[in-house]
Structure 1
Amino acid sequence: MVIDHITRAVIYYHLHPGIEVALRYIQTTDFSKLENGQYEIAGEQVFAIVQSYDTKDPSAEKLEAHKKYIDVQYVVSGQEKMGHALLKAQIPSREYQPDNDFMLFDEAPDFFSLITEGMFTIFYPSDLHMPCILHQAPSQVKKVVVKVGVDFIGDDL
């Protein structure tokens, strides 16, 4: 798991070829001109999801995890808290769904981080995360989630 500001993205390029692609995409894209939706970057191996929403109370949310994709989440505007925990021996409350690359867990996060405009997170399959959480009061957020295939080696570009 990584939490940082996009101005420092270059120090994370080496982590995975798809993470470099994702971070460069975030750094070079004007998201004020993009509508909510999905955008192809490198086929099914790297793609972006632009979304806008109101942050939520954590009591109704669950931790999530993925197996096929690494999440690179970037807050374009607004702010939200994200809950975190490491995937150890927890049993999913919602079994893994391969079509959506998604499973849910009932455990509470170990901690929360405040992610503000210009910050990004990287969540690996071993990182449970609970995004979209309010900080003090519900607020509007625009965020980009770049999905990076764990098997991506860069040949798809």
Structure 2
Amino acid sequence: MIAGNMNFLKLATLPKSLYDILSQPETSLNYLKSLADGRYQLEGEKWFYNIGDSITSPIQDRHTEFHKKYLDIQLILNGEEIIRYGLNDCSSDSYFEKKPDLFILEQPLLTNSIHLKEGDFATFYPGEPHQALCMVDTPKKVRKAVFKVPVEII
């Protein structure tokens, strides 16, 4: 997991491939904030991102997921959330596939958490468990861009 803020992108020590994705004018924080809900993919690119609103909720109401084919970059456009995560490779744990490349863990081991606010992002590599949209104090709306980057690009 790598975390950072879009206003200080160089400090995040991202691999070049991820830095190149987030440093484009079409993926700047202000540009992303101006977009409507939906799925976006730049011409010729294998990666894409989804923008939308969600409501945070208590930890016990949130599932824990991981991916095998895609890396997630979860970027807060407005609001705040807590994402719980583990530093272990959970791909051999007990899980079920909810939809393509979305695996839900039955008994996740989550030892860490990060509080994200506007402009903050966290990356989750394939096999890294993460529980997004956990509320800070009370359930609130959060607007996010979630980038899906194929593992072969990393």
TM-score (norm 2): 0.85
Cα deviation for residue 148 of structure 1 reads 0.8
Per residue, is there more strand in 1 or in 2? Answer: 1
CA 1:92–1:45 in 2, change beyond 3 Å: closer, same or farther?
A: farther
Kept in 2, the 8 Å contact 1:13–1:23? The answer is no
Taking only the aligned residue pairs, the percentage that are identical comes to 24
Take 1:14 and 1:111, find their aligned partners in 2: how far apart are those partners?
Answer: 20
**1:92 equivalent in structure 2:** 94
Q: Give structure 2 stretches of 5+ with no counterpart.
A: none
Q: Give structure 1 stretches of 5+ with no counterpart.
A: none
Cα deviation for residue 73 of structure 1 reads 1.0
CA 1:128–1:43 in 2, change beyond 3 Å: closer, same or farther?
A: farther
Cα deviation for residue 22 of structure 1 reads 2.7
Kept in 2, the 8 Å contact 1:92–1:103? The answer is no
Between Structure 1 and Structure 2, how many residues are aligned?
Answer: 150
Aligned partner letter, 2:129: L
Kept in 1, the 8 Å contact 2:2–2:14? The answer is no
Matched, 1:104 2:104: yes
**1:47 equivalent in structure 2:** 48
**2:63 equivalent in structure 1:** 62
Matched, 1:21 2:23: no
CA 1:16–1:104 in 2, change beyond 3 Å: closer, same or farther?
A: farther
Q: Which moved more, 1:37-46 or 1:119-128?
A: 37-46
Cα deviation for residue 28 of structure 1 reads 6.0
TM-score (norm 1): 0.83
Take 1:88 and 1:144, find their aligned partners in 2: how far apart are those partners?
Answer: 24
